[in-house]
Structure 1
Amino acid sequence: MTDVAPDAGFRKNHKLKNALLQHKPLSRDGLSERLFELLFSGLVYAQIWEDPVVDMEAMELAEGHSIVAIGSGGCNMLAYLSRHPSRIDVVDLNPNHVALNRLKLAAFRHLPDHETVVRQFAGEKNRTNSRNFDRYIAANLDDWTRSYWNRRGLDGKRRITAFDHNFCRTGLLGRFIGAGHLVARLHGVDLTEITRTKSLREQRQFFDDRIAPLFEKPLIRWMTSRKSSLFGLGIPPQQYDELASLSEGGTIAPVLRHRLEKLTCHFPMKDNYFAWQAFARRYPKPHEGILPTYLQAENYPAIRANAQRVTVHHASFTELLASKPAGSVDRYILLDAQDWMNDDQLADLWTEITRTAAPGARVIFRTAAEKSVLDGRLADGLLSRWTYHAERSQELNKQDRSAIYGGFHIYERTA
């Protein structure tokens, strides 16, 4: 299922602009926000960077639940379908992500089998992917989404041909990771070598000997002291400031080092497809490790059967909730979107969440820093109706294989 098409003039992306821009254009913060908005207006995430296994455990996701989630790369929304929810409303302010989510849903519904789906989204070189789009998927898309993937770039190629290669190397984050590999090579480090390690001990040694020393290099310290250098990670100016507050010296290098240490050392490579994306710029082959949850064979039948239960909206979370009846939503997935919000936006969001929440509803979200963004910012009248599961949140944060966030948070409607 799909919602109406994104705004006809989506290149200007007014919805995203309204969410991001909070300072005057010619101020230092305003210029930083506008640069980020420009970069963020294209495809950012080919893969979502939140662990869906952690999400589903935190939500205690069960058959029949009604879900509202931010789309991003679409991987987690599809993973949730394996638990047979009654409905998922996916929202995203970025129309490129709207198109990607709709494409993935149509692929599960109309490609002939699981193997073909895996080739479509995890393959490295397969020219049949764009032909499969033409044969199986295109006619089953809404006009806007079909036009989006058929649109030609400056090189004359259709957008859909990106899937004939390694799609996960595309998008702002994919290019940023590629640039990170180049910087590491300039310092004599080939990050792909970690994929040949055989144990957590070897992974730890690789981090200590090869990766950790990079953060002491003048070029990397200089780069990480500038907000714009991390826009490729999808870190907006507001999140950068929050991260910088965690370390001394005006650089977030120590914070990034700590997060990368978790990604490198805390989970076996064979179990962590996030690490494969970071270090190999691809998914593992069958003998190397596991695929993302939504591409695992055991989940394919349920995802295919339930894909019609999803509607993808070009809208903000608050905007979508305002259209819903009271008490109609069981689970909310906010990713890290609240890190971007000012106090008024946060209050409006939680007013709608509280109004639409069914008894026992759960909200999950991540934060760049460790503490919840709600502390000291949400009115007592709203916050008192929710219980924060602090211990469970900390426990599951340690299990998040993506390793890039400081905090993971679970709130349950109890009043």
Structure 2
Amino acid sequence: MDLLVLKTMEKFTNIVKNLQDRLFNSVTSNKLVYNTCWEDPRLDREMLQINEQSNLVMLTSAGCNAFDYLLDAPREIHCVDENQAQNALFELKRALFQNGDFSLLWDFFGEGIKEEAARTYHHHLRPRLGAPTRRYWDRNINFFSPSPAVPSFYYHGTSGKVAFMIRKKIQRKGLHVKINKLLDAQSIKEQTYYFYKVEDSLWSGFFKWLADQQITMNMLGVPACQRELINEKEDGGISGYIHRVLRHIFTRRPIQDNYFWRVYLTGSYTPDCCPNYLLRKHYERIKQQEHIIRTYTSSLLQFLLKNPGRYTHFVLLDHLDWMIKDPDQLAEVWHHILNNSVRGTRILFRSAGTSTDFLPPFVHRRLEFQPALTKRLHTKDRVGTYGSTHLGIVQ
């Protein structure tokens, strides 16, 4: 192949990559992407070992897990997110704790709907919010007003829109009765039975096509670089990967407390299948502690530059994957993470890939990874969509 052809192919590849990046940014910038956290805090808390001396830095996402970590009584939690919409979601939840009425919290975020949501917001919640959060919810509080078009808050936001497309297709195919029986199953044997009843119809042309579209991945908060990681290790590509995840979740893991998949398949939680922050028994405890959480609309790097400290925990979700094609940026972020860590700091992250080979060499020299622990817990993950989980302890 001559040099001209090679250069042309390289140029075309760069154009495609730039278009993909611009598409991802246009979908996710300042729009609500994650309306619920998609990481299992039960496993997080076992790995993090939070205590009263803990000073955590974490990515906000939907804020559910920050409230969950309060149950271990840390000293401080710093929630950082570049997307103001994600912080606005957290602050609305915080306002519902400050308001002091559990039933309101449950209506908004347990049921995902609230009659007269705008009236409740303006009378009880808006005065508790800062200006940027007010501006966001002044425009979007109707997310909680049910309508035939969009019957739940959990079908708003970009990830919610994908979930709603899937739900409507399930209903059109007449699969919703079996799906509900699957979710209500009381044993793995029973849920496996119902999964195999719907598997062929569920994983037919439309669903496979939807999974293979980059715009779908963008709406779910999955950039092109993560899709490439999955395609490198999965023979069936993205659609094959998701099919394998579904089979594992619904036939190998108990479904009774899997609120992650329930909320997207039904649009709501139930009182015994929901995040910890929505359990009545935890309401007062979280209410008394929510003041220790601070939010920052910022990149992680900007946060560390402006707020240097001795942090004991970092919860990075899958953020490192997003920098996998920019090793200089990845190294810079890691330098600042380590410079703001103490001996014993626990750094938790997930990846679409299966290894930590993409990390800079100096990270491996500073961290002692815990593969036995993370591999054991990864198999118990109720979400199941990540390729691997990693915990490094600063030496």
TM-score when normalising by structure 2: 0.88
In the alignment, which residue of structure 1 is the partner of 2:345?
Answer: 361
Match of 2:314 among 325, 332, 337: 332
1:124 CA drift (Å): 4.2
In the alignment, which residue of structure 2 is the partner of 1:399?
Answer: 380
1:398 CA drift (Å): 1.5
1:128 CA drift (Å): 4.6
Match runs of 1:10-409 below 5 Å: 27-41=15-29, 42-109=31-98, 111-151=99-139, 159-165=140-146, 166-185=152-171, 187=173, 189-190=175-176, 191-212=179-200, 214-215=202-203, 217-248=204-235, 251-284=237-270, 286=271, 289-326=272-309, 328-341=310-323, 342-372=326-356, 375-379=357-361, 381-409=362-390
In the alignment, which residue of structure 1 is the partner of 2:149?
Answer: none
**What is the CA–CA distance in structure 1 between the aligned matches of 2:258 and 2:207, rounded to whole Å?**
26
1:330 CA drift (Å): 0.6
* Secondary structure, counterpart of 2:379 in structure 1: helix
**What is the CA–CA distance in structure 2 between the aligned matches of 1:164 and 1:179, rounded to whole Å?**
19
**What is the CA–CA distance in structure 2 between the aligned matches of 1:410 and 1:290, rounded to whole Å?**
27
1:45 CA drift (Å): 1.0
* Secondary structure, counterpart of 1:399 in structure 2: coil
1:197 CA drift (Å): 2.9
Q: Name whichever structure is richer in helix by fraction.
A: 2
**What is the CA–CA distance in structure 2 between the aligned matches of 1:189 and 1:29, rounded to whole Å?**
38
CA contact (8 A) 2:259 2:273 kept: yes
Query: In the alignment, residue 359 of structure 1 is paired with which amino acid?
Result: R
Give CA deviations for 1:119-140 in whole Å, capped at 9, x if unaligned.
2211244315433322222112
CA contact (8 A) 1:212 1:257 kept: no
* Secondary structure, counterpart of 2:386 in structure 1: coil
**What is the CA–CA distance in structure 2 between the aligned matches of 1:90 and 1:130, rounded to whole Å?**
27
- Report the aligned-residue RMSD: 2.2
**What is the CA–CA distance in structure 1 between the aligned matches of 2:191 and 2:200, rounded to whole Å?**
12
* Secondary structure, counterpart of 2:347 in structure 1: strand
CA contact (8 A) 1:52 1:293 kept: no
* Secondary structure, counterpart of 1:364 in structure 2: strand
**What is the CA–CA distance in structure 1 between the aligned matches of 2:189 and 2:214, rounded to whole Å?**
34
1:24 CA drift (Å): 9.3
1:329 CA drift (Å): 0.2
Query: In the alignment, residue 64 of structure 2 is paired with which amino acid?
Result: C
* Secondary structure, counterpart of 1:245 in structure 2: helix
- Count of matched residue positions in the alignment of Structure 1 and Structure 2: 375
Query: In the alignment, residue 119 of structure 1 is paired with which amino acid?
Result: D
Percent identity (aligned): 27
In the alignment, which residue of structure 2 is the partner of 1:19?
Answer: none
Which shows bigger deviation, 185-194 or 127-136?
185-194
Query: In the alignment, residue 244 of structure 1 is paired with which amino acid?
Result: N
Are 1:413 and 2:394 matched, yes or no?
Answer: yes
* Secondary structure, counterpart of 1:377 in structure 2: coil
Give CA deviations for 1:4-44 in whole Å, capped at 9, x if unaligned.
xxxxxxxxxxxxxxxxxxx9998112112211211112111
**What is the CA–CA distance in structure 2 between the aligned matches of 1:256 and 1:45, rounded to whole Å?**
18
1:67 CA drift (Å): 0.6
- CA 1:196/1:362 → structure 2, altered by over 3 Å: closer, same or farther? closer
Structure 2 residues not aligned, in runs of 5+? 1-10, 147-151
Give CA deviations for 1:80-126 in whole Å, capped at 9, x if unaligned.
112221111111111111211122122212x2232322222112443
CA contact (8 A) 1:331 1:363 kept: yes
**What is the CA–CA distance in structure 1 between the aligned matches of 2:21 and 2:77, rounded to whole Å?**
31
- CA 1:54/1:311 → structure 2, altered by over 3 Å: closer, same or farther? same
**What is the CA–CA distance in structure 2 between the aligned matches of 1:161 and 1:182, rounded to whole Å?**
21
Give CA deviations for 1:242-282 in whole Å, capped at 9, x if unaligned.
11112225x32221111112322233332111121232232
In the alignment, which residue of structure 2 is the partner of 1:12?
Answer: none
Structure 1 residues not aligned, in runs of 5+? 1-22, 152-158
**What is the CA–CA distance in structure 1 between the aligned matches of 2:233 and 2:268, rounded to whole Å?**
31
1:196 CA drift (Å): 4.1
In the alignment, which residue of structure 1 is the partner of 2:7?
Answer: none
**What is the CA–CA distance in structure 2 between the aligned matches of 1:223 and 1:162, rounded to whole Å?**
24
Query: In the alignment, residue 149 of structure 1 is paired with which amino acid?
Result: W
1:208 CA drift (Å): 2.2
* Secondary structure, counterpart of 1:358 in structure 2: strand
**What is the CA–CA distance in structure 2 between the aligned matches of 1:315 and 1:225, rounded to whole Å?**
31
Query: In the alignment, residue 28 of structure 1 is paired with which amino acid?
Result: V
- CA 1:226/1:170 → structure 2, altered by over 3 Å: closer, same or farther? closer
CA contact (8 A) 2:162 2:216 kept: no
CA contact (8 A) 2:20 2:224 kept: yes
Query: In the alignment, residue 341 of structure 2 is paired with which amino acid?
Result: A
